[in-house]
Structure 1
Amino acid sequence: MLKLENVRKNYDRFTLDCSLEVQPGCITGLVGQNGAGKSTTFKAVLGLIRADGGRITLMGKDASALSPADREKIGVVLSDSGVSEYLSIKDVSAMLQGFYHSFDRRYFLDQCRKYQLPVDKRIKEFSTGMKARLKLLIAISHGADFLLLDEPTAGLDVLARDSLLDILREYMEQDESRAILISSHISTDLEGICDDLYMIHQGRIILHEETDVLLGSYGLLKLDAQEYESIDKQYFLRVKKEPYGYSALTDQKQFYMENYPKAVIENSGIDEMMTMMIRGERV
């Protein structure tokens, strides 16, 4: 569905050099700190910035060669996008009907009511969560087969984020050929919905793995100095000095559980992995 091959964008103090792939039927997550390159990646895919090198293929075509009809198949939510807050949802639906040939007005209004968005009120009266739901419903209501969602849950409380994830799950269930690329610095949002995750830091992908593998095979060892000196380090990805000794990230948790049964081994969440991959050192 989407493939980036060594896509580069150079700024004075930042360089993006990114390769990633989103397969049909998959939700792929892009996680990283603020400023890591997530939004730059999205803007390069959409042609909002011109890449300095590399290749972007979207829905089987070079991204620069997409027709207007092709682009209607892409639903987009950017962190700084939106519609005039002086409009109502009914006003927005009329506007979208003029923008998109395949806009489904009845479906859009039904979904707005389903997710408790008043269709007659001005959008400026909506809560932050309601505005976020509206942006996502706009993105999925014109026959989009592929969604690009840049930080759609930013600034939302737990219930509002969960409501957005419900919309995404329903969207994917309707057609197994659809795909989503979603970015977030809130990793717990992505753990429960993504098939695979890319971790980006300073413009470069530093880790890519299926989510089930990340949550099942990766672990964090907590070792004192003596344990660290004697343990087999061949499966350590990163090591970090701690007040008690060392923490070590591994993608072979089972190996250490079987061979070092007395070692303290914790399940590693995405946040811990990201911290270790960024701040830890290679062995």
Structure 2
Amino acid sequence: MLKVKHLKKNYASFSLDCSLEVKPGYMTGLIGQNGAGKSTTFKAILGLIHYEGLVEVFGRQTLNEEDKQLLGVVLSDSGFSGYLTISDIIPILKHLYKSFDQTFFLRMVNQFELPKNKKIKEFSTGMKAKLKVIVAMSHQAKLLILDEPTAGLDVIARDELLDMMRDYMAEDDQRSILISSHISSDLETICDDFYMIHNGRVMMHEDTDVLLSDYALLKVDFKQFEQLDKDYILKYKKESYGYSCLTNQKQYYTENYPDIVIENGHIDDVMTMMIRGE
């Protein structure tokens, strides 16, 4: 569906070198702190900035008009004019997308109680975010590219957007989503796999199921740390009580070190340890 190999972009104070893949039927997450390179990656994939490297969408490096119709995009710094209403943008969407599904669009607008005749500039942050995602889903897109769609939303609004994405994927097993977020816990519940990016470089790629089953944080005192087999320790960080250690071999330490504290790994824990650990 999407392949990116050594996508490079250089700025005065930042450089990007990113490789990733989104498979058909997959929801793939790109996680990282603000400024890690997520938005730059998305803009390069969409051809909005000049870059070096290889980007293939639907198996092609150059998208034709038909391909572009199959893309649904949400960027954090884009949207419709605030002086338009939802009623105003319907004819615009009909003109832009041959497969625009007005029935679906209005059903989603009604479901999420978005006012059709109120200016978009008067919408709340959550209402604007929902509208952007609904627009991206409303024309039978095969690949959604969503840059920080849940940023700035409260827990309820974020959960509603995540439910929208689950429903969208359930309707067609050949659809795919690439979604970025610095709220990594959001992606843990919906993504099949994720890439972790830091300072413009991909630090890790892992299936979410593997992370949740095999990764763990070991909480050990100083003596236990000295005696610990570190062959399967990915990162460690000094704490007041001793050390926290990240491993992707939870079963090994469970079987061989019954006296140490072992906590299940989560994306937030993994990201913190991969960035701040030694």
TM tier relative to shorter chain: over 0.9
Check the 8 A contact 1:26/1:194 in 2, yes or no. Answer: yes
Q: Displacement, 1:124?
A: 2.4
SS at match of 2:195: strand
Q: Quick check: 1:270 aligned with 2:278?
A: no
Once residues 14 and 126 of structure 1 are traced to their aligned partners in structure 2, the CA distance between those partners, rounded to angstroms, is 34
Of 80, 85, 102, the residue aligned with 2:77 is: 80
Q: Which amino acid aligns with 1:196?
A: D
Q: Displacement, 1:235?
A: 0.3
Once residues 253 and 227 of structure 1 are traced to their aligned partners in structure 2, the CA distance between those partners, rounded to angstroms, is 16
Residue 99 of structure 1 is matched in structure 2 by 96
Q: Quick check: 1:22 aligned with 2:22?
A: yes
Residue 4 of structure 2 is matched in structure 1 by 4
1:28-53, Cα deviation, whole Å (9 max, x unpaired): 0000000000001001100011112x
1:202-248, Cα deviation, whole Å (9 max, x unpaired): 00110110001111110011111110111111100001112221111
Deviation larger for 153-162 or 87-96: 87-96
Residue 225 of structure 1 is matched in structure 2 by 222
Aligned residues: 278
TM-score (norm: length of structure 1): 0.96
1:74-114, Cα deviation, whole Å (9 max, x unpaired): 00000011111221111111111111222122221121112
Q: Displacement, 1:56?
A: 0.6
Within 5 A, what are the aligned runs for 1:141-152? 141-152=138-149
Q: Which amino acid aligns with 2:46?
A: L
Q: Quick check: 1:60 aligned with 2:59?
A: yes
Within 5 A, what are the aligned runs for 1:189-228? 189-228=186-225
TM-score (norm: length of structure 2): 0.98
Once residues 120 and 94 of structure 1 are traced to their aligned partners in structure 2, the CA distance between those partners, rounded to angstroms, is 14
Residue 165 of structure 2 is matched in structure 1 by 168
Q: Which amino acid aligns with 2:54?
A: R
Once residues 171 and 130 of structure 1 are traced to their aligned partners in structure 2, the CA distance between those partners, rounded to angstroms, is 19
Q: Displacement, 1:125?
A: 2.6
Q: Which amino acid aligns with 1:116?
A: E
Check the 8 A contact 1:152/1:184 in 2, yes or no. Answer: yes
Q: Which runs of 4+ in 1 moved over 4 A?
A: none
Q: Which amino acid aligns with 2:188?
A: E
Gaps of 5+ in 2: none
